[in-house]
């Protein structure tokens, strides 16, 4: 589904290398987790994959179902099936949440040459999916993320993901700032979307999210590279011993 090879990327402004040769393949139907110390480049990887401004890819490739995504505009990547749930969701004053969702869903359908979702169908689907995430009608009417609590913003990211039905979902620290109940809602939302043809890259600083979203593979990222990969037991090792042992081992 997603194949990243030797990916190097720098901050444009400072000419500072952040990603220093990332190799990672996420198969359809699998959940891969990336853990790693703060500042190791996890968010940068998700930004570079989704096409955020300000980064320059200096080497390597990234493909989605065999298609080069690094040359695409962000909206083309989204239409191709890539989705990023932000670590810090952005507030968009003046744009109603429901309008935002419907515009995004229909823009994506249009880009794929599919028919728009009718207003009635959209309402039915968005209400049902919002309900499972404990997002009430009021939150759907408010401007995107404006005045939402940390937990509400993260649940709203998952609602966007549920509505767009991406092929490859990247979640950047969607668990940070969530209490246990909100984290369970987010995990349930993600688990409900797990499917044969869909890949997940779950970035998290802590192991506890992975108690609820069981990963197939766990990677440790440090200083702009994946330095170790393993099964779910790797996350437990981090939980028990921190990153120091693993970093010393691979150094």
| Of 10, 44, 204, 207, the one binding ligand ADP by CB under 6 A | 44
Between CA 19 and CA 8 the distance in angstroms is 5
Q: Per CB under 6 A, does 42 bind ligand ADP? A: yes
Are 201 and 168 within 8 A, CB to CB?
Answer: yes
Q: Per CB under 6 A, does 189 bind ligand ADP? A: no
Task: Fill in the DSSP letter of residue 117.
Answer: P
Q: Pick the stretch among 2-10, 40-48, 67-75, 108-116 that binds Mg ion (CB under 5 A).
A: 40-48
Q: How many CB atoms lie under 10 A from the CB of residue 220? A: 24
∠ CA 22-17-227, rounded to 5° = 30
| Of 6, 12, 27, 39, the one binding ligand ADP by CB under 6 A | 39
Are 170 and 78 within 8 A, CB to CB?
Answer: no
Closest approach of ligand ADP to the CB of residue 79, in Å = 25
| Of 10, 40, 43, 174, the one binding Mg ion by CB under 5 A | 43
Closest approach of Mg ion to the CB of residue 44, in Å = 8
Between CA 49 and CA 64 the distance in angstroms is 10
| Of 38, 118, 120, 240, the one binding Mg ion by CB under 5 A | 38
Token digits of residue 200: 């997940």
Q: Per CB under 6 A, does 11 bind ligand ADP? A: yes
Phi and psi of 30, rounded to 5°? -110, 155
Task: List contacts with Mg ion (CB under 5 A).
Answer: 38, 42-43, 87
Task: List contacts with ligand ADP (CB under 6 A).
Answer: 11, 14, 18, 36, 38-44
């Amino acid at each position: 589904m997603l194949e990243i090879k030797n990916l190097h990327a720098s901050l444009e402004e400072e000419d500072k290398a952040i990603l220093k040769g990332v190799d990672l393949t996420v198969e359809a139907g699998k959940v891969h987790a990336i853990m790693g110390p703060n500042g190791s480049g996890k968010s940068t990887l998700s930004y570079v994959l989704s096409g955020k401004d300000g980064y320059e890819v200096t080497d390597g490739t990234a493909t989605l179902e065999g298609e080069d995504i690094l040359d695409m505009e962000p909206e083309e990547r989204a239409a191709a099936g890539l989705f990023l749930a932000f670590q810090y969701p952005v507030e968009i004053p003046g744009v109603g949440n429901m309008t935002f969702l419907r515009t995004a869903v229909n823009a994506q359908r249009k880009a794929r040459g599919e028919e728009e979702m009718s207003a009635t169908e959209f309402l039915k689907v968005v209400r049902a999916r919002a309900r499972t995430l404990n997002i009430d009608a009021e939150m759907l009417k408010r401007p995107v993320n404006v005045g939402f609590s940390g937990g509400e913003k993260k649940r709203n990211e998952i609602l966007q993901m549920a509505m767009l039905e991406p092929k490859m979902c990247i979640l950047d620290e969607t668990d940070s700032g969530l209490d246990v109940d909100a984290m369970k809602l987010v995990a349930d939302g993600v688990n409900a979307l797990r499917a044969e043809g869909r890949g997940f890259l779950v970035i998290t600083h802590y192991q506890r999210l992975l108690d609820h979203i069981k990963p197939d593979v766990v990677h440790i990222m440090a200083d702009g590279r994946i330095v170790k990969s393993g099964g779910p037991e790797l996350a437990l090792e981090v939980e028990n011993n921190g990153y120091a042992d693993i970093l010393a081992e691979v150094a």
